[in-house]
Amino acid sequence: MSNDNCQKVDVSRRKLLAGGAAAATAMMLGSEASASQINNAISWDKTFDVLVIGSGFAALSAAIEARRKGLDVMIVEKMRVPGGNSTINGGLFAVAGSELQKEEGVEDSVELMVQDMMAAGRGINHPELTRAIAAGSPDAFKFVVECGAKFKPKLSWLGGHSVARTYLTHNASGSGIVRPLVKTARREGVVIRTECKMLNFITNDDKRIIGIQVKDGYRFPDEETGIVKHFKARRGVVLASGGFSRDTKFLSAQDPRLGGVIDSTNQPGATGEALRAAFRIGAVPVQLSLIQLGPWASPDEQGFGVASMFNIQSGFRYGIMVERATGKRFVNELADRKTRADAMIKNVKESGEPDYPIILVDSVGAKACPTLDRCLEYKVVHAFDRLEDLASHYQIPAEGLIESVTAYNEYVKNNDDLELGKPVSTATPIIKPPFYAVRGWPKVHHCMGGVEINPSAQVLHSETFEPIAGLYAAGEVTGGPHGASRLGSCAITDGLVMGRIAGNSVARNDAI
């Protein structure tokens, strides 16, 4: 192959811009162009040690960790404010072997959390990633507390978990972690550049990622806005851009049912273009068709809303879910998300329209919901003095509903759900009015798939299955740790733990 030195500068400049230049490199064995020569060829608008794409749990953790190694770090976020989907996350954070578990007398271990995550994941998790996440959870919890995050003083026991191991942020929202992390990052010198959209990765002849091409001054979702710029990353790039729950076409490609009729809990910016760009420079696509529907959402509000927390904290644990048409329970209300969502979406009317199931709880169970006031204010959850009124409001056969409640109360009394096997040891009977109820319907919530990484958060290449030099990834943009279904409250753990690992890995990389 020709290696005409007089033409090197422009060759390099252009090839650097190629999304898949890494693929070309293997074919250019005759080339003598070195990385440093190529670096000199492109006109970089900015240079940092580390560039982080995205600004949620994983991105912020990676940025802070890398910054604490003395590196110059910039976060690139396409939306107007940092935080991404993490800001509207429910704030539930699973930790294996926490201080609060010791206080509450809960026995837990990394092994048990891995088992729970693998069971929910139907055994097709990448086990080394699952383990890394569970193992890193106590330290990640300390990390965010030291950054200023505050948590409620009682653990939650969520569906699919063998024990109570889930913290809840003081404001019942992921923003309770995002805000302290943003503050910490800024205070410690991380640059956060918003309205800056990632377009493509830039590689050198050694197949190493050396920077990114962006649209700076971009105003979502107006694709006509922004100016193309090139940012250099001396140590590497951390891809932490989240999932593709709002990426309608890509979502439809994986599951045509999800292209419109089923809403998403995610923020509008979860559009997946950085993930797709990663495939074009060789990232291995993993388990993309495994898309989680959140079973606790309501069709009567947009996105995650307020009812989701009601169902998670009160409805499913202390109440029951029944078919509208019969008043009968039809699934263990604490089964994992996939089991519940699959059962719920089978409830369709003869017309083919959804027949939304109803989740109900009494006033004792409702106390566990930290957002009950808002649920009522927004008229998503309704209160009823009598079960008959509740049945009438939702057009449930009253007899069927009362039969279900009576049977369930008996199961609670005997600590044995003979019907559906729900663990009811901490449940309370549905007795004391007012009764609270909400219509439920699953929403696209989490993308289990993404790019393949190893436990050091290095992204693997589809030609060699070896790490792509200079590229790291963490959080929802990666695939594998959660298998077929992510267990509730493990997204924060994933983002924080793997983000911190990515930040430390990129800091260990040689500078170019």
Beta bridge partners of 92: 168
Judged by CB under 8 A, does residue 452 bind its own copies?
yes
Q: Which stretch binds its own copies (CB under 8 A): 125-133, 163-171, 189-197, 382-390?
A: 125-133
Is 367 near its own copies (CB under 8 A)?
A: no
DSSP at 96:
T
One symbol per residue from 458 to 477: x for binding its own copies (CB under 8 A), - otherwise; what is it? ----xx-x------------
Find the binding residues for its own copies in span 183-212 (CB under 8 A).
199-200
**Residue 337 known to be catalytic:** yes
Q: Could you tell me the two tokens for 351?
A: 């017309």
Binders in 46-65 for its own copies, by CB under 8 A: none
Instruction: Give the residue, chosen from 157, 220, 279, 378, that forms a contact with its own copies under the rule CB under 8 A.
Output: 279
- The CA distance from 249 to 255, in Å, is 10
Torsion angle, alpha carbons of 119, 245, 304, 495, to 10:
60
Q: Which of 45, 104, 206, 273 binds its own copies (CB under 8 A)?
A: 273
CA distance 353 to 50: 49
Q: What is the CA radius of gyration of the chain?
A: 24
38 binds its own copies (CB under 8 A): no
Among 11, 209, 233, 306, binds its own copies (CB under 8 A): 11
For position 260 contacting its own copies by CB under 8 A, the verdict is no
Token pair 């930790």 is found at 95
Closest by CA position to 109, among listed 119, 120, 98: 98
Question: Counting Cβ atoms within 10 Å, is residue 276 exposed (0-12), middle (13-18) or buried (19+)?
Answer: middle
Residue 460, beta-bridge partner list: 467
Amino acid occupying residue 438: V
Q: Considering only residues 50, 60, 64, 284, which one is a binding residue for its own copies as defined by CB under 8 A?
A: 284
Q: Which is nearer to its own copies, 137 or 213 (CB)?
A: 213
Q: Which is nearer to its own copies, 363 or 462 (CB)?
A: 462
**Phi then psi dihedrals of residue 477, to 5 deg:** -70, -15
Query: Cα–Cα distance between 500 and 223 in angstroms, integer?
Result: 32
d(C-alpha 415, C-alpha 333), whole Å: 15
Kindly indicate which of the ranges 117-125, 306-314, 317-325, 421-429 contains the residues binding its own copies, using the contact rule CB under 8 A. 117-125
Instruction: Give the range of 102-110, 123-131, 164-172, 218-226 binding its own copies by CB under 8 A.
Output: 123-131
Residue of 317, 329, 337, 486 marked catalytic: 337
Instruction: Name the nearest CA neighbour of 189 among 73, 308, 302.
Output: 73
Q: Is residue 276 part of the contact set for its own copies (CB under 8 A)?
A: yes
Reference 59, options 471, 474, 470; nearest CA is: 474
Exactly one of 254, 371, 493, 505 binds its own copies (CB under 8 A); that residue is 254
Minimum CB separation of residue 100 from its own copies in Å reads: 33
Under DSSP, the state recorded for 486 is: P
Residue ranges that bind its own copies, judged by CB under 8 A: 2, 4, 7, 9-11, 13-15, 17-24, 27-28, 123-127, 199-200, 213, 228, 249-250, 253-257, 273, 276-277, 279-282, 284-290, 449, 452, 462-463, 465, 479-480
Active site residues: 337
